[in-house]
Structures are given as C-alpha cells and as structure tokens.
Amino acid sequence: MKKYLLSIAALLLGLLAHSQEADDLGNYAEVSVISRLDLNPTWYRSAGETGFDLGNSSIYTQFEGRASEHFSWTVVNHWFSFTDWPSGDFEAFELFKTLGYSDANNFIDILKADLTFGSWTFTLGKDCITTGGHEYDDDDYDVHTPLASPLWNDLACYQWGGKVAWTTPSELSTFSLQMTTSPFGERPFASGLWTWSAQWSGDYDWFSPLWSATVLSREAPEYASAPHEYDFLISLGNQFFIGDWTLTLDWSNTSGLGWEMDRLTSSALFSYETGYKLLPGNIFHGRVDYSPSERWNYGLLGNVVTTPKDIYGTNWWNLGAVAEFFPLHDSDDLRLHAFVEYDSLIDGFTFSVGARYRLNFRLW
C-alpha cells in the first residue's frame, strides 16, 4: 500500500510541474477549506426525554485541479467530525485512528488521479464505491445525516482501487466498471477482499438515471465451506427535473448494514452469527426539492426501510422538511440551513439549525 501511495504522489508531482507550462489549456489548482456547524436538539416523544448533538459538524479540506487535458486529481480530507459530541462516545481523533483500515472511513476520503483520453476516463486511488443512488451526488459536508439512508450512514464507501468509464459520443450516458478493496475487510489489500461495481449514469435533460450493481466480498463464518461470501447490492437512482422542481427516487435492495443470524437445521435448530454484512430488505429514499431562485432551496425528504420478518430489525421510516439559504451573491460558498425530522424508529423529532462555509484559495 505504501508503494502504491508513493507512485500516485510521484505522478501528481510530475504532472503538476508540467501544468505550469500549459495555462492555455484551462489548467488550475484550488484548495478549499470547508467547515460546518450543526445544532441538533432531539425530543424522544414516547420516552419524554430530550437529547442534543452536533449533527454533521465537521472540518474538511479539498485539493483539486487539472495539470493537462488528460490529467486531473482530487484530494478530500475529513479532518474532524463532531457528530457524537457531547456524548461519552466522542473522540476528537477517531478519524486518524482508523487510518489503514478499510472497514471504517478515516481522514482520507478521496485521493485519486483521473486520466482522460477522448471518451475514456481511468481513475486510480481512493474513491467512493460506485454504488447507491443520487444521495451520493452531494458532498458529505452538504448532507443532512439524519435524513440520509442507512446505507449512506453505515457503509465505509471510500476504498482503494481503480475505475474505467466510457461516455457516449452524445455525452448523455456514462458506463463504468470499478474494482476496489472491500468495506468488510479489516485491512485494504491485505484482507484479500474486494468489491466490484458496474454503473450507468445519464443526463437526459428532464431525467437522470444512476443505476448500479455491486458485489462485495466478506469473510465467511467458521462453519462455511468457502473462505468468502458475497453480498449483492442493487441501487436504482432516478432524478426528474420539472422547472424549479427536482424529484429524486432511490431504491436499494438492502435495509442497511448489521449483524444477521443464519439458521441452520439438521437434527436440531442452531443459530450462528454470520458477522457484519448487508441485511436483506429495501431502502426507499425520496426527495422533492423546490428552488425558486439561486439563493433558496426547500426540500422534503425521507426514507422507508423494510426488513424481512425473520431478520433482526424492524420496518421504519423518517421524514423531514429542509430550508437552505445562500446569502452571498452569485456564490454557494456560504449556506445557512435548518430542518425538522421525525423518525419512527426512535419515535422522536430532531430539530437542526446550522451553517456551512467554504473558503477557496486559487493556486493557479
């Protein structure tokens, strides 16, 4: 893994030097510092109790640019997350402790290089698994996490690997194949566990599909005959545009990640814990956005999660209303936001107010 990182770093440095001679090709490099603060009080209606956390409060940096018509790069670091503050589970340096693991996200979200030749793009490095629906379109620091799906919240989606993508001559569709390390392996590469994905994305003026099929390998339980087992994830994302309105409908064939009990019957009934995996079920993630101007966006979004009766878990849903305001003229660098959400799983309401600010530095 260390040699892999050094190779990417050497490639970046070499092409960055080359970029100094090619400003006429639209080459650039930019660093952004992004900070977000949320204040989230929660009322648990049935229990008659209240709670408080900092939601998606976090600090990110983003370094991206292009060194030639063929080469570009993206580096996104998630330095601090204050989600669990002020609870006893909060650890300021948790994202640094998980560096070198593939079963948890760490402070390196993205570290990738893109090589483009005509209609073909080849990506190497650490990137998001090409799965899920349109909710993965937004940057993590823009997501209202209580309203995101269980898949988005629980999957360690940033993995090491490579991807090849082909865009049709009309530029209306892009087809991609990707192979990465598995989020179910403890150590990237060393675990010998992999993820394979195929995705179709489209932009058809009024309709944007984002469909994917993913196979994730994981270690099999001790009693299994094979060393590995596989989870199959299908995600169908659909987005519709009608004037100032956007309708998003995502579906995935899982109810999230968790611990499932397999039941094996011989002369007696035995139960075995298979480990952490994708659980059967369905996630329906929906969103309706209304943007009457560049400064305002209103949204209604939520999830419906269904699980089989014989699997640990229960059916649940949530629904929230969001308002977002961009006070800076001709810029979305500053966003003020607020939302209220009801979650049937906890029978409680979460209220949130916050702000996200992006500070940009153009290097060239």
| Contact yes or no for 233/213 (Cβ under 8 A) | yes
pLDDT band at 6, cuts 50/70/90?
low
For residue 90, which phi and psi values (nearest 5 degrees)?
-70, 130
pLDDT tens-digit readout, 313-326: 689 999 999 999 99
pTM assigned to the model:
0.89
The answer, yes or no, to whether residue 178 has pLDDT greater than 80, is yes
DSSP β-bridge partners for residue 161: 125, 180
**Mean pLDDT of all residues in 196-219:** 96
> pLDDT, tens digit, for every residue of 129-165?
999 899 999 999 999 999 999 999 999 999 999 999 9
Structure tokens at 285: 């993630």
Place of tokens 């209604």: 300
Please state whether the peptide bond connecting residue 41 to the residue before it is cis, i.e. omega within 30 degrees of 0: no
Q: What is the pLDDT of residue 19?
A: 44
Rounded CA gap, 311 and 239, in Å? 31
| C-alpha pair distances (Å), 336 with each of 117, 174, 322 | 40, 33, 11
Q: Which residue has the higher pLDDT, 334 or 81?
A: 334
Q: How far apart are CA 250 and CA 204, in angstroms?
A: 17
Question: DSSP label at 16?
Answer: H
Among the listed ranges 38-47, 126-135, 156-165, 221-230, which one has the minimum average pLDDT value? 221-230
Given a cut of 80, whether residue 88 has pLDDT beyond it is no
Calculated CA dihedral for residues 201, 171, 111, 154, nearest 10 degrees: -10
- At residue 259, the pLDDT reads 78
Instruction: Reply yes or no on whether the pLDDT at 311 is more than 70.
Output: no
- The model's pLDDT over 253-298, given as tens digits with 9 standing for 90+, comes to 999 998 766 544 433 334 445 578 999 999 999 999 999 999 999 9
Residue 248 banded pLDDT, cuts 50, 70, 90: very high
Domains with residue ranges and CATH for the chain: 2-362 (2.40.160.10)
CA 227 to CA 225: how far, in whole Å?
A: 7
pLDDT, tens digit, for every residue of 335-353? 999 999 999 999 999 999 9
> DSSP code of 220?
P
Residue 310 has pLDDT above 50, yes or no: yes
Q: How far apart are CA 254 and CA 274, in angstroms?
A: 16
Which residue has 């490579």 as its token pair?
162
Quote the pLDDT of residue 261: 62
Q: What are phi and psi of 52, to 5 degrees?
A: -155, 140
